[in-house]
């Protein structure tokens, strides 16, 4: 591997002639954009503790009325990517959103896709294209690109959820924008997770031939996902990850084009070593406590905490309890990477 020439190797008048014409020599910067063996990564394995941020979010409820916020959110920003840039990883935006009883976060739709993962409280709901989705702890609700959505709360006490959006990617291609809308009509119908898509392996007959909606199922109740994980565990080898992907029930494909969603169960005492992979991710702790080792950094997590995993990182997750299972929710950008053709999983563990 030969040393590449530097900018300083070039005569000043030559460099100025290039600059005047908006030109740049590649070779002095080639290794920055194309390093050997592992990408250049600025993303830090950052932990956001729920215990630390919760009181600040609740305080925002006193400081800022919903009308002054539209969405009352504290953004979980990765310091390695610049705090103002609203990135948890290069592709994933994360925020903790608070809604109080009788508040409304008004109807809109936008080009980035979003999901909500409920962290605390009861009685919140999101209406997606007229479908009223109850928000109970651990429920996942999709608001795909371009679909109308608004939030409300007709219960008691604060409701908090984690928002994950593909905003950094959509923004970076200068395609992020939003349209305001009138409130959606109130609906007392059940969402599709309780009706047409109640059970895996059963679909509305009409959908086999025709009438496929791109997003047939926008709510995944946690009680069903948790039951499914516990059922999978009964049959899993000891060294097998108990890991379920949220998918579109009509196509079996990932729910959204850019971000992917999955739930992981760590059995009592389990030390899980997932393959190193090219996707970046964020992990939210639904239940339990433990430690994750991410590229040599130990993250100690508890219920409600959220942490960022850089691309190509070496990872291990340890359930702290020897008897109780822990449950993790993961968002990653593997769907985007697969579509673009550069997704990789590495079976050998370590990079240096």
Torsion angle defined by CA atoms of residues 154, 159, 164 and 167, in that order, rounded to the nearest 10 degrees: 70
Q: How far is the CB of 108 from ligand 1HN (least distance, A)?
A: 6
Nearer to ligand 1HN, 110 or 284 (CB): 110
Each residue 116-145 as x (binds ligand 1HN by CB under 6 A) or -, in order, gives ------------------------------
Query: Residues in contact with ligand 1HN, total (CB under 6 A)?
Result: 12
Q: How far is the CB of 246 from ligand 1HN (least distance, A)?
A: 19
Q: How far is the CB of 264 from ligand 1HN (least distance, A)?
A: 25
DSSP letters spanning 187-227:
--SPPGGGTTTSSTT---THHHHS---S-S--EE-HHHHHH
Nearer to ligand 1HN, 167 or 241 (CB): 167
DSSP letters spanning 69-80:
TSS-EEE---GG
Nearer to ligand 1HN, 176 or 321 (CB): 176
Q: Cα(186)–Cα(183) distance, rounded to whole angstroms?
A: 9
In the chain, % helix, strand, coil (3-state, to 5) comes to: 20, 30, 50
Contact assessment for residue 164 and residue 259, using Cβ atoms and an 8 Å cutoff: yes
Nearer to ligand 1HN, 110 or 312 (CB): 110
Can you tell me which of 74, 92, 100, 114 binds ligand 1HN, judged by CB under 6 A? 114
Does 106 bind ligand 1HN (CB under 6 A)? Our answer is no
Nearer to ligand 1HN, 71 or 132 (CB): 71
Can you tell me which of 15, 41, 71, 243 binds ligand 1HN, judged by CB under 6 A? 71
Q: Which residues contact 37 (CB under 8 A, 6 or more apart)?
A: 351
Q: Cα(203)–Cα(249) distance, rounded to whole angstroms?
A: 8
Q: Cα(33)–Cα(322) distance, rounded to whole angstroms?
A: 44
Applying the rule CB under 6 A, the residues between 27 and 56 that interact with ligand 1HN are none
Q: How far is the CB of 73 from ligand 1HN (least distance, A)?
A: 5
DSSP letters spanning 52-97:
HHHHHHHHHHHHS-GGGTSS-EEE---GGG-GGG--SSSS-EEEEE
Termini Cα distance of the chain: 18
Each residue 274-303 as x (binds ligand 1HN by CB under 6 A) or -, in order, gives ------------------------------
| b/e code 218-243 from CB counts within 10 Å (16+ = b) | bbbbbebbbebbeeeeeeeeeeebbb
Applying the rule CB under 6 A, the residues between 158 and 177 that interact with ligand 1HN are 163, 165, 167
Nearer to ligand 1HN, 184 or 314 (CB): 184
Applying the rule CB under 6 A, the residues between 191 and 220 that interact with ligand 1HN are none
Nearer to ligand 1HN, 110 or 153 (CB): 110
Does 73 bind ligand 1HN (CB under 6 A)? Our answer is yes
Does 95 bind ligand 1HN (CB under 6 A)? Our answer is yes
Q: How far is the CB of 55 from ligand 1HN (least distance, A)?
A: 21
Q: How far is the CB of 44 from ligand 1HN (least distance, A)?
A: 21
Helix or strand run (H / E) with residue 165: strand 159-165
Q: Cα(52)–Cα(77) distance, rounded to whole angstroms?
A: 15
Q: How far is the CB of 116 from ligand 1HN (least distance, A)?
A: 7
Nearer to ligand 1HN, 220 or 301 (CB): 220
Q: Cα(318)–Cα(292) distance, rounded to whole angstroms?
A: 6
Per CB under 6 A, residues contacting ligand 1HN are: 71, 73, 95, 97, 105, 110, 114, 149, 151, 163, 165, 167
């Amino acid at each position: 591997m030969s040393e590449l020439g530097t900018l300083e190797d070039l005569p000043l008048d030559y460099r100025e002639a290039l600059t005047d014409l908006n030109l740049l020599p590649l070779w002095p910067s080639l290794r920055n954009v194309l390093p050997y063996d592992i990408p250049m990564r600025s993303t830090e394995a950052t932990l956001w503790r729920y215990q630390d941020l919760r009181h600040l979010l609740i305080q925002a409820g006193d400081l800022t009325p919903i009308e002054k916020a539209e969405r009352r959110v504290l953004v979980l920003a990765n310091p390695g990517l610049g705090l103002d840039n609203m990135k948890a990883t290069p592709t994933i935006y994360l925020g903790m959103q608070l809604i109080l009883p009788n508040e409304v976060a008004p109807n809109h739709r936008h080009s980035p896709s979003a999901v909500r993962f409920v962290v605390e409280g009861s009685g919140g709901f999101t209406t997606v294209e007229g479908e009223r989705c109850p928000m109970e702890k651990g429920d996942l609700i999709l608001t795909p690109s371009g679909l109308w959505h608004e939030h409300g709360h007709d219960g008691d006490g604060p409701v908090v959820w984690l928002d994950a959006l593909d905003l950094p990617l959509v923004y970076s291609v200068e395609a992020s924008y939003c349209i305001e809308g009138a409130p959606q009509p109130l609906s007392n119908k059940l969402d599709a997770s309780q009706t047409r898509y109640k059970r895996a392996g059963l679909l509305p007959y009409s959908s086999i031939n025709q009438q496929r909606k791109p997003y047939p199922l926008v709510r995944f109740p946690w009680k069903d996902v948790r039951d499914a994980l516990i059922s999978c565990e009964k049959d899993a080898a000891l060294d097998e990850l108990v890991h379920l992907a949220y998918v579109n029930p009509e196509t079996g494909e990932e729910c959204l084009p850019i971000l992917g969603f999955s739930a992981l169960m760590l059995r009592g005492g389990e030390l899980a070593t997932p393959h190193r992979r090219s996707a970046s991710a964020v992990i939210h702790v639904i239940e339990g406590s433990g430690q994750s080792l991410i590229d040599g950094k130990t993250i100690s997590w508890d219920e409600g905490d959220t942490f960022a995993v850089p691309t190509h990182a070496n990872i291990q997750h340890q359930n702290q309890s020897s008897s109780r299972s822990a449950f993790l929710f993961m968002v990653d950008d593997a769907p985007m990477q697969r579509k673009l053709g550069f997704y990789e999983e590495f079976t050998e563990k370590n990079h240096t």
